[in-house]
Amino acid sequence: MSQSDEFSASTYRMPNKDGDVDKTVKTASGGEVVGDEEDVVTDPFAAPLKRQLKSRHLQMIAIGGIIGPGLLVSSGNALHEGGPAGSLISFCLVGIIVFFVMQSLGEMATIIPVTGSFTEYAARFIDDALAFALGWAYWYLWVTVLANEYNSVSLVIQYWTTAVPQWGWILIFWFLFLTLSNLGILAYGEMEFWLSVIKVLALIVFFILAICISTGGIGPQTIGFKYWDHPGAFADGINGVAKTFVVAGTIFFIGILIPWNDKQLLGNGSKTASSPLTIALTDAGILPAAHLINALIVISVISAGNSSLYVASRTLLFMSRNGKAPKFIGRTNRAGVPWVGLIFTNVFACIVFLEQSSSAGTVYSALITLSGVATFIVWSVIGVCHIRFRRALVAQGEDPSKLPYQAAFYPYGTYLALAGNIFLVFFQGYTCFLNPFSSTDFVINYILLPVFVLFFVVYKVWNKTKFVRLEDMDIWTGRREFVEEDADEVDNSGWWSKIYSIVVG
């Protein structure tokens, strides 16, 4: 859900509301976009981002982007909190919601591929004040994700050596991420491509080994589903399910290989406790597994750290250039990299150092928990944007059936996802109400809701924004008009040619 416009541009025309097609100009990557040649500026506060990512970059970034510390590290906590069945239920429910959220976003992004993505849609389809609150919530989400990645890599890398303290590793990777992020979009894409390839191949190997271990082909015993029977499929009943909605991962294989009450998952001082994959393979007698898994986690954190900085900095860039963030954050260098936004984001990610203090560690954990709530808020707004976009099409005489891409099962899927996200915003923290009531947990789980509303109200009152009517909604600016390809231009190459094109671009 990146808000960048740094994708490979294709040839398209953008009609205005009257149906006229404006003048097109060439982009740096060979595509054509609407505008006058005089619009190409060199002002560091308005310079366009580079469009240099190739198809293979985008495909592998999309596939490998889901393989990060949350999948390899936090899944251990999910297993402990919810048990194998509880975590699997959370994974399935969230997976359904994510599918319909992506359907909604995909329909809007295909016809209106604007830089601001859903933040721009919120401004145009609902209220500019909502876009302000949403943009900052989305940026905060990625800051906390980045902080968690610094914490994860500093712990995991200590498996090999403790000569450098944890805060030292955090500093090392802090400068490493910042350096890599300033190399430019093409370097970012190439690095993410190969790191994603490594992550995908490693995870496939783990799946194969997990099946062999469970069936008794590797290791001292046949495991099957015995851990679902003892200590049980649920760690804390429905409460465990509620706690794991934001951290369920490759939980099925992990759930059949490790009991949820495994001491290695619980021990704070255990070096392998961060990775249930390592525990499973080590218990099976595959001695090199610990080193391989730790190497995989380090690779995934480097990849995820780059992605977090990428998305957060582009979010700030968009908001800066639309008056929703300080103007200086919108500066870019000659490579088209928003370097100020990168530094600004990385500085706030230093909240990870709170984890180094036992007393401040509670504050850090609370900040990380809030990122899950921010996720559900963002997904909810995407659903509302999609519903209003569809209604505006009808109100302005447009035929939704002619959209180049239509969301599956609309409107049922969109309404289901919207209802599910609203439910999860409140359900994920309901355990604080259980006897005895925990005021600390209540604040941690729900403080972001009034803060989000405060951002919305203050911006709305200060700027006197108005709720957008369907008849006045801007569904034309940046709109893409697709041109049918000639039949003889359709690619009929074999599957081997398509694989080759993905690898080499």
Angle at 142 between CA 192 and CA 110, to 5 degrees: 65
**Helices marked H in 428-481 — which ranges?**
439-446, 448-463
Residue 168: how many other CB atoms lie within 10 Å: 11
Mean pLDDT of the region 393-418: 92
Given a cut of 90, is residue 297 above it in pLDDT? no
| Structural domains of the chain ordered from first start | 53-488 (1.20.1740.10)
| Cβ pair 100, 417 in contact under 8 A | yes
**Number of other residues whose CB lies within 10 A of the CB of residue 473:** 18
Give residue-wise pLDDT tens across range 443-469.
877 888 899 999 999 999 999 999 999
On the question of pLDDT at 470 being above 50, the answer is: yes
Looking at residue 52, its pLDDT comes to 60
Report the interhelical angle of 439-446 vs 448-463 (nearest 10°). 40
Q: Are 330 and 338 in contact (CB under 8 A)?
A: yes
Average pLDDT over residues 113-133: 90
Q: What pLDDT shows up at residue 457?
A: 96
Please name the residues in contact with 490: beta carbons below 8 A apart, sequence gap of 6 or more: none
Higher local confidence (pLDDT), 100 or 337: 100
CA–CA gap between residue 218 and residue 98 (Å, rounded): 35
Highest mean pLDDT among 177-191, 287-301, 330-344: 330-344
Q: How far apart are CA 355 and CA 374, in angstroms?
A: 21
The predicted model gives 11-37 an average pLDDT of 37
pLDDT at 316: 92
Percent of the chain at pLDDT > 90 equals: 22
pLDDT at 239: 58
* Rounded CA separation 434/297 (Å): 36
Between the CA atoms of 464, 470, 476 and 478, what dihedral angle is there, to the nearest 10 degrees? Answer: 50
What is the structure's pLDDT at 172? 92
Three-state SS annotation for 162-175: CCCCHHHHHHHHHH
Q: SS3 of 503, please?
A: helix
Residue 439: what pLDDT? Answer: 78
Minimum mean pLDDT among 9-23, 104-118, 214-228, 327-341: which range? 9-23
Task: Share the mean pLDDT of the chain.
Answer: 74
Range name among 235-244, 423-432, 481-490 with the lowest pLDDT average? 481-490
Residue 261 has pLDDT above 60, yes or no: yes
Task: Report whether pLDDT(498) > 80.
Answer: no
pLDDT at residue 38 is higher than 80: no
pLDDT in tens, 212-250: 877 777 766 666 666 666 665 556 656 555 555 555 475
- List helix spans (H) across 321-360: 339-348
Q: What is the pLDDT of residue 289?
A: 67
Query: pLDDT by residue (tens digit) across 368-397?
Result: 677 778 888 999 999 999 999 999 999 999
Question: What confidence score (pLDDT) does residue 343 get?
Answer: 93
Q: Which residue has the tokens 């009450």?
A: 261
Integer Cα distance of 172 and 301 in angstroms: 13
- Residue with the bigger pLDDT between 293 and 386: it is 386
pLDDT value for 146: 87
Q: Residue 110 pLDDT more than 70? A: yes
What is the per-residue pLDDT for 269? 45
Phi, psi angle pair for 46, to nearest 5°: -140, 5
CA angle 273, 275, 281 (to 5 degrees): 105
Using alpha carbons, select from 125, 116, 138 the residue that is nearest to residue 383. 125
In angstroms, rounded to a whole number, what is the distance separating the alpha carbons of residues 71 and 202? 13
Q: pLDDT at residue 50 above 80? A: no
Give the pLDDT score at 54: 67
Burial class (CB in 10 A: 0-12, 13-18, 19+), 392: buried
pLDDT, residue 417, reads 94
Per-residue confidence (pLDDT) for residue 69, from 0 to 100: 60
What tokens appear for 124 in the block? 């145009």
Count of residues in the chain: 505
Residues 6+ away with beta carbon under 8 Å from 50? 6, 28, 184, 185, 186, 335, 336
Mean pLDDT calculated for residue range 117-128: 92
Contacts of 220 (CB under 8 A, 6+ apart): 284, 285
Confidence (pLDDT) at 229: 67
**pLDDT for res 274:** 54
